Structures are given as structure tokens and as C-alpha cells.
Structure 1
């Protein structure tokens, strides 16, 4: 026997449902939290990134800032993504803003490029960038990296570390980021020291000094421990003997 509902009951039910306040859902992605603890990593890989960009971006640019964040949600919208699976335990993603392609192509005004209809290839750029950055990461993370062909960011665990580099290209801002699973960063005791090769002028001076001295000698240098709180954006650290004595 079917149970029949009277019209009055149905009307009362509809009035109750539609008169109750409806809270609007928040679909925005929560902002990431700045985490100074990992900023030295962003500084550590900045040198390799800048060297790569100098050789691969055909227009003038400047890395205006870099920072580190920790979070558990991020939007893939407006980003090109290359992903890696690490030891089947961690995930790593190299990301570049979609805007970087339009900004660079907008300023490729060379006659040769116009004749050949040569445009900036963002996918080739991202592939080469990923190879360079992963090569640098392997110095600190002795793991096996396997490229994955998935355009979606998905980690094994919830939290990740984002190393973000903001670029200024002809007055317009874009960004390149590394997203590293937080458990992967915490699993390795990463040295805080940053080593950089000598400049061309420095090599010439050492060679000149060797030619002037009739005895053999060896130039030995020691790493300088610069704390994270000294790495302020726009601040220049002058390495003087007094400064070295102060921090050692």
C-alpha cells in the first residue's frame, strides 16, 4: 500500500527548505603560508635557474623576488606543468606561468624571427628547464626521478613546499615554481651552504697571481654560514673580512 502525502504537507516542506538560509560555498583555493625555513632552498637553486634563463629566454628579464611556501592545495589553472615521480614515494612538479609565452612572443621583434615565423616554444622551454632543475635537485636528493605525463598536480601526502621565483620580463610579471612534496624535503638533511663557481675575472686574477709567484701554492676557501634571516629581498650582503669574523 502506497503512502500518500497530502498537498498541505508538501507545501509546508517546500516552504521550510527554500526559506532556510543557504551559505554560499567558498570555491577559492586557500592561500599558501610563507615558510622561511625553506627559503634557503629557493636561494640555492636560483643560480642554476638564472643561468638557464639567460641562455633560453630571448628577451631581457630579471628575477625580482623568490620565496618559499607550504600548503596542501594549489590550482593548476594558467600553468604549464612537468611532473616527476620520485622513488614511488614523492612527487615533484616544475611549473611555469602560461603568461610567459605570450610576454616573450610579444617582444620577439627581430626581423629574422618575423621572416621565419619563429616563436618561443614554451613546451621545449619547460622540458629543458625541468632537466636542469632536476639535475640540481639530485645534488641534494639522492633519489631516482621518473618523469610522469600527467597535467594534474597530485602528491602522495597532503603538504608540499613551493619554491617560487617571480620574473619581470619587459615590465610584466610572471613566475616559475618548484613544487616538492614536504616529506621529501624533510627526509634529507640538506646542507645550508651554497657554493658558486668563481667568476671569469676571479679565474684571471688567480692565474695572474700564479704566474707572478715563483712557488707553488693552493687557494683554499671555506664556506660562509649565512643565516636565512639575512636573505632579505633587495638587500646586498658585502663579504668583508670583518663580516666573516662576525658570523664564524
Structure 2
């Protein structure tokens, strides 16, 4: 956990720098004018260029929240309308095209400023697990804040089903991947294999939908390396498996029973 806290603090510092860069090309942060709203006057239609100060709609459908917007490089930071996130584990996915290098810098932030989750820091697409309920990401009302982006879509999903194990996730340098998996009671193993490359650290975790960690592992190495962790499934159901590869090397991670 100490490593994870240090990583988060480091990434937060980098995010501040990246937002400042966005400001250099015309991005000054704006905040939602109606915290807690699900729809407000002055929102924009998904797929159209968002006027400065307008809120991008957060569309809730079942267990999924979808936020789709279009941001010009020279415009201020964009914010979405607010939505509720209860305690538990979610899969956050994103994709962006057409901005400065196709990169997306975005965070999910609580309306009261008490918590923040980094969706993307200079990436173009990916997915990761988000655990709500704690110091960094308390339950409550959130909104998306986009510092740099083009045509982007961000989804937050509480999965209700997944693929049967074994499930293998593959990723390139610096990529994060998350997927829902159905597991049965008994022992569960998560394993990872790095590609040959420079030193780097990859993290992988398995969560239940309440946000509890079933198994996790941090893996470092300067060459092809494998490692694993063993957990115990007490209740059959859907779980979230996620892996974040280091900036220097990709590979694959597998959850199996």
C-alpha cells in the first residue's frame, strides 16, 4: 500500500504539471456551476464541440455512466455534469482522438474537492479499476474534468457479469487494462509476465465488487520476468481484474482457477 500511495502522490504532481501545460495552450480550469446536477441548462450535445463553460452530459444507463465530449486544444478545461458513485469497484475506460498527439489528461473529481481519481495522464486509450470508498476516492458526487482531449469518451461501469476464467490481459508499454471475470469459490491465481525491456514496475490486482482486494502483486525487473499471487474466492460472482504495465515494458497478465 505504501508504494501505491507514493505512486498516487507522484502522479498527482505530474497531473498538475500536465494541466498547467494545457493552460499554456489556452486551458484554464472551469468548475461545474451546478454540483449534483444530472442535467443542466448550458450542457452540450454529445459529439459537438463544447462551448467554453458548458457542461458535458454524464449519461447514466443501468450500471454504466458515459461521458462523450469534443474539446478544442485552445479551450478551457471541460467538466461534466455530476453523477453519484457509491462504494465499490468499477471499471473506468477511455478513448481519445484528435487532440495534441491524441492524448487525454482527465480526472474524476468529487464536487466538494475531497477526492480525485486519475483517468488518464497523457494516454490515448485504456481501462483500469477504480475503487470508491477511502481517503482518495470517497463515495459521493463526482464529475469528469478534462484538461487535454479531442473527441473523447469515458465510461464508468459497475459490471454485472464477466468472462469465465482463465482471462488473459495483454498490454503495451505504459498501458492499463481491466476486465470483469466470473469466478467460483476456491483458490484463484493472478500471474504476470513482462516482455524483455528496461527496468520497470507493473502492478496487477483482483477486486470483488465491494472494492476489497482479493489478490495483488507489484512486479519489477530488467528482463523477461514472471510473478504471481494467490487469493481465495469465498463467493461465486463477478470480480474485476486489472493490470498496469510500466512505462518501459508491456506483457500479459492472467487470472485463473
Q: How high is the TM-score relative to the length of structure 1?
A: 0.25
Relative to its length, the structure with more strand (as a share) is: 2
Relative to its length, the structure with more helix (as a share) is: 1
Q: Which has the higher contact order (CA 8 A, sep 6+)?
A: 1
Q: How high is the TM-score relative to the length of structure 2?
A: 0.24
